[in-house]
Amino acid sequence: MKRKIASLFAGIGGIDLGFEHAGAESIWANEIDKYCAITFTANHPKTKLIVDDICNIKGKDIPQIDILTGGFPCQPFSIAGYRKGFEDDRGNMFFQIMRIIDEMGKNNNKPRIIFLENVKNLKTHDNGNTFKVIKEMLEKSGYYVTEKVLNTCEYGDIPQNRERIFIIGFLKKKDFNNFSWNNIPKIKLENKINRVVNWDSDEDKKYQYGPEKKCYLLLKENITEKNTIYQYRRVYVRANKAGVCPTLTANMGMGGHNVPLILTNHDIIRKLTPRECLLLQGFPKDFIIPEELCDSRIYKQAGNAVSVGVIERVAKEILNAMED
């Protein structure tokens, strides 16, 4: 029987997809953003999605599951808030996860596995105190915890430089002992940037930067090489020489900043399309982009998502560790 997962902060379901590719079944999810919900539902029609603030979710709302996931927003929080207890810090998303886990425990549905994802800096934030609190709270709740920072281009066979921390809590010592990061070694990047980005295609005019754009001269002067991804940062342009795309961000597509740019084989400067950005996060070619959503929404959703290939590899190791 397939292991069942529920996702908090589900976004467009990158974590769900990775777990599904690994053999699990996504049965329940929560997300506050109604536009993410449209994309999520189009691609996960069988998963029950609750579109609401996590603060309104109760542990008893979540059906019987094996794994609870949460790619929670990176919100720094203070030790002072922690000392007061999460009752006093309702706005903090990590504390909301802990509240839900505890409520699920009271309902005999404590997740056997907790899988969390966040930015790499979570580990060093506030001299390591933020991460210490997260680990301590999970341990206090009965979990054996392990974590590692993985880069998408080293572990997911996806040409994007994206370092993220993955934190896993195991309720059973046996599962924890069975799990090893060594079973998820670095892999060679076979899926080269040329397979994902189409330099032959100039795409629609709306993706192009011609002389009518204010920044055109700056771009033209700096964007000179093919097979390179560039980033435009308000006053300068940076070439990414490593043959991978720089980290996609949630604010790309808002006002044109941070959307990676390329020079096509016909010497047209254009930004990556929303589809290319999703491919650079490891979403499959047939991932549905709902027609009613404008490009800026999809850029944001892609930048906020996780790299599916990395999740799939970690998820496989978790599922193996749970085998009896």
User: Judged by CB under 6 A, does residue 218 bind ligand SAM?
Assistant: no
Nearer to ligand SAM, 115 or 143 (CB): 115
Stretch that binds ligand SAM, among 76-84, 184-192, 196-204, 301-309 (CB under 6 A): 301-309
Among 3, 9, 39, 115, binds ligand SAM (CB under 6 A): 9
- DSSP-based three-state secondary structure for 228: coil
Question: Which residue in the block uniquely carries the two structure tokens 């193996």?
Answer: 320
Stretch that binds ligand SAM, among 9-17, 195-203, 237-245, 286-294 (CB under 6 A): 9-17
Q: Minimum distance from CB of 173 to ligand SAM (Å)?
A: 27
* Phi-psi label, residue 13: left if phi above 0, alpha if psi -120 to 50, beta otherwise: left
| CA 297, chain centre distance (Å) | 15
Q: Minimum distance from CB of 265 to ligand SAM (Å)?
A: 32
Distance of alpha carbon 168 from alpha carbon 144, whole angstroms: 8
Q: Minimum distance from CB of 101 to ligand SAM (Å)?
A: 15
Q: Are 271 and 207 in contact (CB under 8 A)?
A: yes
Residues 302-321 that bind ligand SAM (CB under 6 A): 304-306
Among 54, 67, 196, 263, binds ligand SAM (CB under 6 A): 54
Measure the CA angle with vertex 163, ends 134 and 51; round to 5°: 60
User: Judged by CB under 6 A, does residue 36 bind ligand SAM?
Assistant: yes
Nearer to ligand SAM, 12 or 219 (CB): 12
DSSP 72-130: -------HHHHHH-GGG-TT-HHHHHHHHHHHHHHTT---SEEEEEEEGGGGTGGGGHH
Question: Which residue in the block uniquely carries the two structure tokens 């720094």?
Answer: 76
Residues 6+ apart with CB under 8 A from 127: none
Residues 55-74 that bind ligand SAM (CB under 6 A): 71, 73
Among 4, 32, 257, 320, binds ligand SAM (CB under 6 A): 32
Among 3, 22, 33, 229, binds ligand SAM (CB under 6 A): 33
- DSSP-based three-state secondary structure for 297: helix
Nearer to ligand SAM, 71 or 159 (CB): 71
The footprint of ligand SAM on this chain (CB under 6 A) covers a number of residues equal to 19
Q: Are 30 and 5 in contact (CB under 8 A)?
A: no
Distance of alpha carbon 324 from alpha carbon 320, whole angstroms: 9
Q: Are 209 and 219 in contact (CB under 8 A)?
A: yes
User: Judged by CB under 6 A, does residue 97 bind ligand SAM?
Assistant: no
Of the residues 74, 153, 245, 277, only one is catalytic, namely 74
74 a catalytic residue: yes
Stretch that binds ligand SAM, among 82-90, 138-146, 173-181, 299-307 (CB under 6 A): 299-307
User: Which residues are identified as catalytic?
Assistant: 74
Residues forming the site for ligand SAM (CB under 6 A) = 9-15, 30-33, 36, 53-54, 71, 73, 304-306
